[in-house]
């Protein structure tokens, strides 16, 4: 506590006039007081509190109409872009898909250096939700990057030279890193992903000087006979069997926040492995023994040692992929006449939570979207569940809201202290969860979730598909965390929209699925400015100042979980969403112009005739759902990010199909061999299933062309 007070005083002297051109390395003082340095953006959420609020106000309600493109930089990775840039001393640093790093002059866009960690292409099969990266951390004169294949890399900030790298995961398993590291007092903190594939989650701290591991905090119990700390011994009492071969899940793949005064690090824990609790904790009675701690929890620990302090579980016994890895925001506010130090989160399960961040005490929780898995939260902070949606107990399919993408996914929120509002990039989308009988894990390939992912595939009926599509909604919600209600809402045409930035100019910035980048009035939600980004924007914006001018930057590029794992026809609705990966940087009076957008033209559906038996096609459907849908979309209705298999030339030739699926001919592109999980007969059945689906959709398109689709 005392050392942080001294650091705070010294940092105020270092920050100075906030010109954006102060020299020096990033240290504890500068990070603790990042909120006073309005010119720079030196940590992932701008401050340890992760509010994503900047007091810069040159761009404001009155001037935003004059905001124009200052410069842009094209990226060489046409995949999902999710990173927040860092800006320090007039230089901008950003990561892109495949864990690449680029440095630019923040005022002019002049390229300074780049770094490619050479992540093997076959790593792409280990990730559920695109080969994305969310950003960097800084300490001293170093930048820190987590790579998709599980390395932590330290780069020289001036040159991009590798200073050290550390493998942080067992690379023989389906671990990955997509989140941004954080640094606290010389300790680099990073988690990992992979719960869908069967791993055991943890967060760990590494020495910023040499990468040596300092401590590791596991989020779920280990195997029998393992010597475990007290917090894991208590967790083991909430599992009816050990985590075993499947690992248990609970990966820490994104959110973190830090309170220097309390010296507490907060992080969110992910879903169970498998999702279906019936296979993780068979016979759980729902009275605590099946809670499966610390899945779907917010956990507070000491960053120096990794010592457990408290936890709050948002979804006990999670079975729907309701992670609590979503953005965590810290703030101080008056609630019920009392000043409270709070932690706020809108996790996947659809409730907005306000907790006391000193103790973990539940203060309040209300739905921020429509949901049906629970009817509310009781006075103890435990959800009041709808028993019909407890599919792990009923063994019956159920349509559950929200689905596995949640009511809010990874996209960062923002908090405006002047308005006392949290801005949530929310959406509504349900899913049919169908338990898979006699399910067995496959630790080599494919989704290990315990459900038939293909059970909810949509039929080749365009009218029905349009009806379903109309129920999937995206929105920007301005949420009052004290009243636990929305103050205003902006409806978006698409569901998968960008993260948020709030500013002292009374603005909220957000990109959208419909390829725009917008500024809204923070108080009313009125749209004040819009820019045609030519691509879906899912990354969060940030802002900085150089040479007395305010800049607003956002990394554009369509991709991520919904873009590759959802039905491509439902995503597209009126038109396909293209990927044009670019860094866009704006300032008042900016006059740069993007090149003209090229037309998007999909390869026509022209499959061979479907001649396989119904039994073969059904076998192919099951295998496709488990092993292919995670990248190539449900029902083989692909989108624009990864190949649409209905349009693949390999459908014509079973030998070429086997060269790809069995032999791994395209492994460098991420399409690895599945020979250890699927027989050649099963691979051929998948081909026949895709052929059947392609013919069905070709016929549907022909009906549309002839005007025969019924309007519903």
Q: Which two tokens stand for residue 299?
A: 């956990």
Whole-Å CA distances, 41 to 34, 135, 344, 415:
8, 12, 22, 16
β-bridge partners, 598: none
Q: Which two tokens stand for residue 575?
A: 């038109």
List the Cα angle 259/263/265 in 5-degree steps: 65
Tokens 């719960």, located at residue:
195
Question: 500 and 540 in contact (C-beta within 8 Å)?
Answer: yes
Kindly tell me the sign of the dihedral angle through the C-alpha atoms of 441, 446, 448, 451: negative
Residue 321 catalytic? yes
Phi/psi for 600 (5° steps) reads: -95, 125
Question: 96 and 84 in contact (C-beta within 8 Å)?
Answer: no
Secondary structure (3-state) at 239: coil
Q: Which two tokens stand for residue 662?
A: 């069995």
Question: 123 and 167 in contact (C-beta within 8 Å)?
Answer: no
Q: What is the CA radius of gyration of the chain?
A: 24
Q: How far apart are CA 293 and CA 235, in angstroms?
A: 5
* Total residues belonging to the chain: 712
DSSP class of 424: E
Nearest to 569 by CA among 619, 533, 623, 605: 605
Rounded to 10 degrees, the C-alpha dihedral 99/102/103/104 comes to -140
Question: 81 and 555 in contact (C-beta within 8 Å)?
Answer: yes
Residues 6+ positions from 483 with CB-CB distance below 8 Å = none
Where does residue 487 rank: exposed (0-12), middle (13-18), buried (19+ CB within 10 A)? Answer: middle
Tally Cβ neighbours within 10 Å of residue 665: 15
Marked catalytic residue, from 321, 392, 452, 457: 321
Tokens 């200052």, located at residue:
70
Nearest to 129 by CA among 538, 443, 672, 444: 538
Q: How far apart are CA 156 and CA 563, in angstroms?
A: 34
Q: How far apart are CA 48 and CA 576, in angstroms?
A: 38
What is the maximal distance between C-alpha atoms in the chain?
76
Residues 6+ positions from 615 with CB-CB distance below 8 Å = none
Pairing of strands 53-54, 500-503: parallel
Q: How far apart are CA 345 and CA 56, in angstroms?
A: 25
Please report which helix (H) or strand (E) contains residue 391, including its range.
helix 391-394
Q: What is the 3-state secondary structure (H, E, C) of 255-307?
A: CEEEECCCCEEEEECCCEECCCHHHHCCCCCCCCCCCCCCCCEEEEECCCCCC
Secondary structure (3-state) at 580: coil
Q: Which two tokens stand for residue 633?
A: 């979309």
Residues 6+ positions from 170 with CB-CB distance below 8 Å = none
Q: How far apart are CA 207 and CA 511, in angstroms?
A: 36
Q: How far is CA 358 from the centre of its chain?
A: 27
Q: Which two tokens stand for residue 256?
A: 């973190």
| Positions marked active-site | 321
């Amino acid at each position: 506590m005392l050392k942080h007070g001294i650091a705070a005083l010294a940092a105020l002297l270092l920050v100075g006039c906030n010109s954006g051109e102060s020299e020096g390395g990033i240290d504890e003082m500068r990070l603790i007081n990042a909120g006073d340095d309005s010119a720079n953006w030196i940590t992932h959420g701008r401050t340890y509190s992760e509010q994503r609020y900047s007091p810069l106000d040159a761009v404001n309600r009155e001037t935003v109409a004059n905001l124009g493109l200052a410069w842009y930089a094209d990226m060489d990775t046409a995949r999902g872009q999710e990173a927040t840039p860092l800006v320090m001393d007039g230089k901008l640093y950003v990561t892109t898909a495949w864990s690449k790093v680029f440095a630019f002059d923040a005022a002019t866009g002049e390229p300074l250096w780049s770094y490619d960690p050479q992540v093997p292409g076959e790593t792409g099969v280990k990730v559920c939700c695109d080969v994305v990266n969310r950003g960097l951390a800084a300490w001293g004169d170093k930048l820190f990057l987590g790579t998709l294949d599980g390395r932590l890399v330290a780069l020289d900030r001036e040159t991009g030279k590798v200073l050290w790298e550390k493998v942080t995961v067992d690379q023989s398993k389906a671990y990955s890193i997509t989140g941004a590291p954080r640094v606290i007092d010389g300790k680099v903190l990073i988690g990992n992903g992979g719960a869908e594939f069967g791993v055991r989650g943890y967060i760990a701290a590494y020495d910023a000087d040499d990468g040596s591991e300092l401590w590791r905090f596991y989020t779920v119990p280990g195997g029998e006979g393992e010597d475990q700390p007290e917090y894991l011994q208590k967790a083991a009492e909430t599992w009816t069997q050990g985590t075993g071969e499947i690992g248990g899940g609970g990966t820490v793949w994104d959110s973190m926040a830090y309170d220097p005064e309390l010296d507490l690090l907060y992080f969110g824990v992910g879903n169970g492995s498998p999702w279906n609790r019936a296979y993780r904790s068979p016979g759980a009675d729902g009275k605590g023994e099946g809670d499966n701690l610390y899945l779907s929890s917010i956990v507070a620990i000491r960053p120096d040692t990794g010592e457990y302090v408290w936890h709050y579980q948002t979804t006990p016994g999670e079975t729907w992929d309701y992670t609590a890895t979503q953005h965590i925001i810290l703030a101080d506010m008056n609630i019920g006449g009392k000043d409270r130090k709070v932690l706020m989160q809108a996790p996947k399960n659809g409730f907005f939570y306000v907790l006391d961040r000193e103790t973990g005490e539940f203060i309040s929780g209300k739905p921020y979207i429509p949901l049906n898995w629970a009817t509310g939260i009781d006075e103890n902070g435990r959800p009041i569940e709808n028993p019909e949606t407890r599919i792990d107990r009923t063994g019956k399919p159920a349509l559950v809201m929200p689905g596995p993408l949640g009511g809010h996914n990874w996209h960062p929120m923002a908090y405006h202290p002047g308005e006392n509002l949290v801005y949530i990039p929310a959406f509504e989308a349900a899913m049919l969860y169908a338990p898979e009988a006699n399910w067995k894990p496959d630790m080599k390939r494919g989704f290990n979730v315990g459900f038939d992912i293909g059970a909810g595939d949509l039929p080749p009926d365009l009218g029905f598909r349009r009806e379903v599509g109309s129920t999937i909604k995206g929105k920007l919600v301005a949420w009052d965390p004290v009243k636990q209600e929305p103050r205003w809402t902006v409806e978006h045409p698409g569901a998968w929209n960008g993260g948020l930035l709030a500013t002292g100019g009374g603005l909220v910035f957000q990109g959208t699925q419909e390829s725009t980048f917008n500024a809204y009035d923070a108080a009313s939600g009125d749209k004040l400015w819009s820019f045609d980004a030519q691509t879906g924007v899912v990354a969060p914006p940030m802002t900085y100042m150089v040479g007395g001018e305010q800049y607003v930057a956002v990394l554009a590029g369509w991709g991520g979980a919904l873009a590759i794992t959802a039905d491509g026809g439902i995503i597209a609705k009126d038109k396909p969403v293209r990927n044009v990966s670019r860094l866009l940087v704006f300032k008042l009076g900016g006059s740069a112009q993007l090149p003209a957008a090229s037309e998007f033209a999909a390869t026509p559906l022209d499959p061979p005739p479907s001649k396989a038996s119904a039994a073969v096609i059904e076998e192919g459907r099951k295998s496709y759902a488990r092993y292919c849908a995670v990248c190539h979309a449900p029902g083989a209705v692909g989108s624009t990010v990864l190949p649409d298999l209905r349009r693949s030339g390999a459908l014509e030739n079973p030998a070429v199909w086997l060269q790809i699926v069995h032999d791994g001919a395209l492994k460098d592109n991420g399409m690895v061999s599945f020979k250890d999980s699927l027989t050649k007969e099963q691979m051929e059945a998948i081909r026949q299933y895709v052929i059947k689906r392609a013919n069905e959709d070709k016929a549907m398109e022909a009906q549309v062309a002839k005007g025969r689709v019924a309007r519903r």
